[in-house]
Amino acid sequence: MNDFSYEFSRLGLYDLNDLVALEKICFPNAWTEEQFWLCLKQKQYYIFGLKKKGDLAAYMSFQHIDYEMEILKLAVHPAYRRKGIGKRLLGLVLQNCIEMGIEQAYLEVRRSNTAALALYTGFGFIQTGIRKGYYPDNKEDALLLFLNLITLQKV
């Protein structure tokens, strides 16, 4: 993405309405306003976003536990997809995590989510396991992915 007019920042309670709206567009099992509120209030949770002229184009949330982080959600508004924004946001957040001293990143992703899988494996995430029938809405398997951020640092 060569467009530097996107503003990268950590999101807060003032972004709650925009987060809920984007979440509803992007996920069938959308987080509620209360879930986002709790996430924004607790210090181990982080949500970063990319905004274009104040509009939230993408966000990524994660939980920080000691030297590890678990990616919770990464979403790009459909109007902004396939422009490198997901890649840019993931890269910026992982860089931020390295600066926070985080060494290992984990996540779960639906087996059918080819876009997300391509994005994550492009960063070097590798599959470490499967949770059979993990997602309650359609009993789809979750793939467990892992990335050693120390390796990423050396790239």
- Could you list the residues that contact ligand COA (CB under 6 A)? 26, 73-76, 81-87, 109, 113-116, 118-119, 122
The alpha carbon of 44 is separated from its chain's Cα centroid by a whole number of angstroms, namely 15
Beta carbon nearer to ligand COA, 40 or 143: 143
Beta carbon nearer to ligand COA, 56 or 119: 119
First-last CA distance in the chain: 19
Rounded to whole angstroms, what are the CA distances from 90 to 37, 122, 141?
Answer: 22, 11, 23
Beta carbon nearer to ligand COA, 113 or 148: 113
Beta carbon nearer to ligand COA, 118 or 150: 118
CB of 5 to ligand COA, least distance (A): 16
CB of 72 to ligand COA, least distance (A): 7
φ, ψ dihedrals at 100, nearest 5°: -80, -5
Which structure tokens are listed for 60? 């990524």
HSE (CB half, 13 Å, CA atoms) of 97? 34
CB of 115 to ligand COA, least distance (A): 3
